[in-house]
Amino acid sequence: MTTAGRLPYPIALTGDGVTLREWRDEDLDDLVELLDEPDIARWTPMPSPFDLEAGVAYLKRARQSRASGQRIQLAITLDGGRPIGEVLLFGVDAGLREAELGYLVGAAHRRRGHASAALSLLSGYARGSLGLSRLLLRIDPANTASCAVARRCGYRLTGEPPILQEGPYGPSSLDTWELVSAGGGARLERLRNVAARRYGRRG
Ligand SMILES: CC(C)(COP(=O)(O)OP(=O)(O)OC[C@H]1O[C@@H](n2cnc3c(N)ncnc32)[C@H](O)[C@@H]1OP(=O)(O)O)[C@@H](O)C(=O)NCCC(=O)NCCS
């Protein structure tokens, strides 16, 4: 966090094969193509259908919340060019050093590790540069893909009671996940295996 308690703006982060950058007005057509999609409608609070008007409003709100330092909202790109998704950090509680993150990737770009790369990159930035120690995700347990991303990036279920909500698809519940391993799940897995060997256990 900056001394004024605002999140830094503008920023760009590169690593793990992705570049996260600020949204631009010229991203409008790509944004609509990415967000007007059934899985995004099902699992995120995006308006559906997500048309040009929704896109204009979305980019305007993104710009405002970035300028006011309320949230980090970045386009996921491969090389700083056209967006393939979005990753966010919001709900910052500076006292508790806590924030929530979210992500989405366009249907044409999925299953290539881009969501995991973007989440790991922003989580690392939030821990390292912003000094936030408690990073959270809220995920419907039926959202298999999102749960897999969380697990792969080193997040684990906290066991907190689910957050119940009403949506266009009926009642749903969101589980809370917390980052336990900054290096991602692989590091945690290695440590676990070492512990298992040491104590003669398996699996
Ligand atoms: C969830 C989402 C962001 C995943 O994006 P992605 O770029 O395909 O994810 P990755 O390629 O990084 O995949 C990470 C892991 O998830 C797994 N995964 C991805 N999609 C999956 C699916 N549909 N079913 C099962 N597993 C899936 C991958 O196999 C990978 O697992 P691995 O660690 O075993 O290799 C994307 O599906 C999406 O945008 N969904 C709609 C929006 C959404 O649900 N956002 C999250 C709200 S909480």
Residue 7 lies in a domain: no
- The structure tokens 């500076």 sit at 94
Q: Is the pLDDT of residue 203 over 80?
A: no
Tens-digit pLDDT profile for residues 36-60 = 999 999 999 999 999 999 999 999 9
Which residue carries 């959202």 as its tokens? 143
**CATH classification of the domain holding 154:** 3.40.630.30
Non-local (6+) Cβ contacts of 30 within 8 A are: 82, 83
Q: Kindly state whether residue 1 falls inside one of the protein's structural domains.
A: no
Overall domain count for the chain: 1
Q: Are 107 and 37 in contact (CB under 8 A)?
A: yes
Q: Is the CB of 149 under 6 A from ligand 1?
A: yes
Each residue's pLDDT tens digit, 113-138: 999 999 999 999 999 999 999 999 99
Q: How many CB atoms lie within 10 A of CB 178?
A: 17
- Does residue 197 carry a pLDDT above 60? no
Identify whether 101 is part of a domain. Answer: yes
Is the CB of residue 110 below 6 angstroms from any atom belonging to ligand 1? Answer: yes
pLDDT at 201 over 80: no
Comparing 198 with 39, which gets the higher pLDDT?
A: 39
Q: What is the residue-averaged pLDDT of the chain? A: 89
Q: Which atom of ligand 1 is nearest to the CA of 185?
A: 33
Three-point CA angle 152, 15, 132, nearest 5°: 65
Residue of 34, 37, 105 with the most ligand 1 atoms within 8 Å of its CB, for mutation? 105
Looking at residue 1, its pLDDT comes to: 61
Give domain status of residue 8, yes or no: no
Answer whether residue 187 shows pLDDT above 60.
Answer: no
| Per-residue pLDDT tens digits for 71-106 | 999 999 999 999 999 999 999 999 999 999 999 999
The two three-digit tokens of residue 12, written as one number: 């760009």
**5 lies in a domain?**
no
> Is 107 inside a domain boundary?
yes
In a domain, residue 6? The reply is: no
Residue 85 is assigned to a structural domain of this protein: yes
